[in-house]
Amino acid sequence: ARDLGRGLLARVGLSDKEGSYPDQLSGGQQQRVAIARALANQPQLILADEPTGKLDTNTAREIFTLFREIVGQEGATILMAAHDPLVDEYVDGVLLLSDGQIVERENPPR
């Protein structure tokens, strides 16, 4: 289990934070730990609810880039609820919802 944890921390760029407590990590680092936890069971589907909601633009870009890498390398699908306008630069498709109904489908250029 320890080797798995170390590998996951390395995967999200936090090898140097092993043994750190949450209050010793930035918001972006805490999000990366959450992503590492989500990857622990090698899921085919990852659900991400506002994964960059409290992060600055640069950190949000790092998280979205990490998600793209996960999709490409792990073969996972990520279903994300997001209001961040940066998301269009990183996703394969966007569904716009209103009152629980799909009102528009987009395939943003990347």
The full 3-state SS of 9-26, as one line of letters, equals: HHHCCCHHHCCCCHHHCC
Say what percent of the chain tops pLDDT 90: 46
Q: Return mean pLDDT, the chain.
A: 89
- pLDDT of 104 > 70? The answer is yes
Each residue's pLDDT tens digit, 42-77 = 899 999 999 988 888 998 898 899 899 989 998 899
pTM above 0.85, yes or no: no
pLDDT exceeds 80 at position 94: yes
Sign of the torsion angle spanned by Cα atoms 4, 79, 22, 61: positive
Confidence of residue 85 (pLDDT cuts 50, 70, 90): confident
